[in-house]
């Protein structure tokens, strides 16, 4: 009997659920068992605000250390929590098909977010969502919260909060069935974090070829194209994954459409771009399939997608985005 493939995962219910989906898919591909290896990340033990912790991989660093140390064979991350720089010795082997990338507002009585008035409380720990709430519901009070999905929903159900904002994909993966009322926020007016709704399957660069080939079978090409563009925008802005910015790209037929916005932390100002690029144009689909390819390979469609994202970031910076987002690598000179 073959040895199980070891999947490193955070201990949270959501992480275990999304890792379980990937494990089941890999078992179908390989015919081998996949066992979950729970790992505690800094983000699971540090209860400080996400805006205070920063975006330097608080949910990924411990997992990556375990992978490099040989304690597991591959990892599954929420892509929106993953820093844009991939450590030496590791590769993103697959990005499975993206689920719903939207945010969802959950309330007791179904009042839409924009109707929440003075005295209303909206819970979220994301600087991007905080800025968006301050634009959509300027009279409401934003409460900086942490905790798992169930604890956040409970704070609304109990009346402690009037609303919370969560990722639609997380609710779907958990199979959450809540009596709270849902308001899905459209991506045109409420774009979400780079990579939201997507998973990243990561392994060592020197992993057995058999494993890397099996993992690449889980890759969805259109998802990888889109998230490569989104994350390159974040990279080009030199901002962390908790920056008050949004980027969403989607493949539509022969085009890729990009919506990106950078917000002032107080929501008072924003800089946005809408870009459409032909997939058979200069940037995308020049060479190769891109299946399982690293976005930094230097050739092929994923390299081209990254270049497109960096070009969009430069346009944002030219319009003043650097004045709105905290830099991941501040200049101390």
Indicate which residue of 44, 73, 81, 162 is catalytic: 81
98-157 pLDDT per residue, tens: 999 999 999 999 999 999 999 999 999 999 999 999 999 999 999 999 888 999 999 999
330 within a domain of the structure (yes/no): no
Q: How many helices (H) and strands (E) does the chain have?
A: 10, 13
Q: Strands 141-143 and 74-78, how do they pair? A: unpaired
303-327 pLDDT per residue, tens: 889 999 999 999 999 999 988 876 6
333 within a domain of the structure (yes/no): no
15 within a domain of the structure (yes/no): yes
Helix (H) or strand (E) holding 19: helix 13-30
Comparing 118 with 332, the larger pLDDT belongs to 118
- What was the pLDDT predicted at 146? 81
Average of per-residue pLDDT values in the chain? 87
Whole-number Å distance between alpha carbons of 240 and 83: 7
**Residue 81: active-site member:** yes
pLDDT at 173 over 60: yes
Give how many domains the chain has, as a whole number.
2
331 within a domain of the structure (yes/no): no
The answer to whether 9 touches 76, Cβ cutoff 8 Å, is yes
- What was the pLDDT predicted at 241? 62
Residues 251 and 118 in one domain: no
The distance of Cα 40 from the centroid of its chain, to the nearest Å, equals 19
* Range from 39-53, 170-184, 237-251, 283-297 that averages highest in pLDDT: 170-184
- Residue 83: give its domain's CATH number: 3.40.190.10
- What was the pLDDT predicted at 286? 42
Residues 205 and 288 in one domain: yes
| DSSP code string of 274-304 | EEEEETTSSSSSSSS--TT--TTSSSHHHHH
Which of 7-16, 51-60, 238-247 is predicted least confidently? 51-60
Q: Helices 149-157 and 13-30 sit at what angle, rounded to 10 degrees?
A: 140
pTM above 0.75, yes or no: yes
Q: Which residue, 138, 165, 185, sits at the end of a domain?
A: 185
- What was the pLDDT predicted at 280? 66
Comparing 263 with 242, the larger pLDDT belongs to 263
Residues 294 and 202 in one domain: yes
pLDDT at 219 over 80: yes
- What was the pLDDT predicted at 233? 96
Residues 317 and 214 in one domain: yes
Q: Which tokens sit at 113?
A: 């977010």
Residues 201 and 240 in one domain: yes
Q: Which residue, 185, 208, 223, sits at the end of a domain?
A: 185
Q: Which residue, 168, 185, 202, sits at the end of a domain?
A: 185
Residues 22 and 131 in one domain: no
93 within a domain of the structure (yes/no): yes
Q: Which of 133, 96, 108, 101 is nearest to 20 (CA)?
A: 96
* Range from 92-106, 243-257, 260-274, 298-312 that averages highest in pLDDT: 92-106
Residues 215 and 140 in one domain: no
Residues 249 and 132 in one domain: no
109 within a domain of the structure (yes/no): yes
Residues 210 and 260 in one domain: yes
Helices marked H in 185-299 — which ranges? 209-216, 221-237
The answer to whether 131 touches 267, Cβ cutoff 8 Å, is yes
Q: Strands 90-94 and 121-123, how do they pair? A: unpaired
pLDDT at 234 over 80: yes
303 within a domain of the structure (yes/no): yes
Which of 14-18, 216-220, 329-333 is predicted least confidently? 329-333
* Range from 1-5, 66-70, 284-288 that averages highest in pLDDT: 66-70
Q: In the sheet where 255-263 sits, what is the strand order?
A: 245-252, 255-263, 270-278
Q: Which of 247, 214, 267 is nearest to 313 (CA)?
A: 247
Percentage of the residues of the chain whose pLDDT score is greater than 90: 73
- Give Dmax (Cα) for the chain: 63
329 within a domain of the structure (yes/no): no
Residues 249 and 201 in one domain: yes
- What was the pLDDT predicted at 141? 96
Q: Report the 10 Å Cβ neighbour count for 93.
A: 26
The dihedral of CA 236, 240, 244, 247: what is its sign? positive
- Read off the pLDDT band of 330 (50, 70, 90): very low
Tell me the three state secondary structure of residue 63: helix
pLDDT at 299 over 80: no
266-296 pLDDT per residue, tens: 888 999 999 999 876 555 544 333 333 344 4
pLDDT at 46 over 70: no
Which of 84-88, 111-115, 162-166 is predicted least confidently? 84-88
Q: Which domain holds residue 85?
A: 5-99+194-323
Residues 74 and 127 in one domain: no
Residue 158, classified by CB atoms within 10 Å of its CB into exposed (0-12), middle (13-18) or buried (19+), is exposed
- Read off the pLDDT band of 177 (50, 70, 90): confident
Residues 119 and 239 in one domain: no
């Amino acid at each position: 009997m073959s040895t199980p493939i070891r999947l490193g995962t955070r201990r949270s219910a959501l992480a275990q659920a999304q890792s379980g989906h990937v494990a089941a898919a890999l078992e179908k591909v390989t015919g081998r068992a996949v066992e979950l290896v729970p790992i505690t990340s800094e983000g699971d033990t540090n209860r400080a605000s996400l805006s205070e912790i920063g975006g330097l991989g608080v949910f990924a660093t411990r997992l990556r250390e375990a992978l490099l140390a040989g304690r597991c064979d591959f990892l599954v991350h929420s892509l929106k929590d993953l820093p844009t720089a991939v450590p030496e010795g590791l590769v993103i082997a697959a990005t499975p098909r993206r689920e719903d990338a939207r945010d969802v507002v959950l309330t007791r009585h179904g009042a839409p977010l924009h109707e929440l008035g003075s005295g209303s409380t909206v819970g979220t720990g994301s600087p991007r969502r905080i800025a968006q709430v301050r634009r959509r519901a300027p009279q409401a009070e934003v409460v900086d919260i942490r905790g798992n999905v169930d604890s956040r929903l409970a704070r609304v159900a109990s009346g402690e909060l009037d609303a919370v904002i969560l990722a639609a994909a997380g609710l779907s993966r958990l199979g959450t069935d809540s009596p709270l009322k849902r308001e899905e926020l459209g991506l045109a007016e409420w774009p979400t974090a780079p990579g939201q709704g997507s998973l990243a399957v990561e392994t060592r660069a020197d992993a057995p070829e058999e494993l890397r080939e099996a993992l690449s079978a889980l890759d969805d090409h259109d998802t990888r194209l889109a998230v490569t563009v989104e994350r390159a925008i974040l990279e080009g802005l030199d901002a962390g994954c908790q920056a008050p910015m949004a980027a969403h790209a989607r493949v539509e037929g022969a085009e890729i459409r990009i919506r990106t916005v950078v917000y002032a932390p107080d929501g008072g100002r924003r800089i946005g771009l809408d870009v459409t690029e032909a997939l058979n144009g200069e940037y995308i689909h020049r060479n190769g399939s891109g299946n399982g390819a690293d976005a930094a390979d230097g050739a092929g469609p994923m390299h081209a997608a990254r270049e497109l994202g960096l070009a969009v970031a430069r346009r944002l910076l030219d319009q003043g985005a650097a004045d709105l987002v905290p830099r991941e690598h501040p200049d101390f000179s």
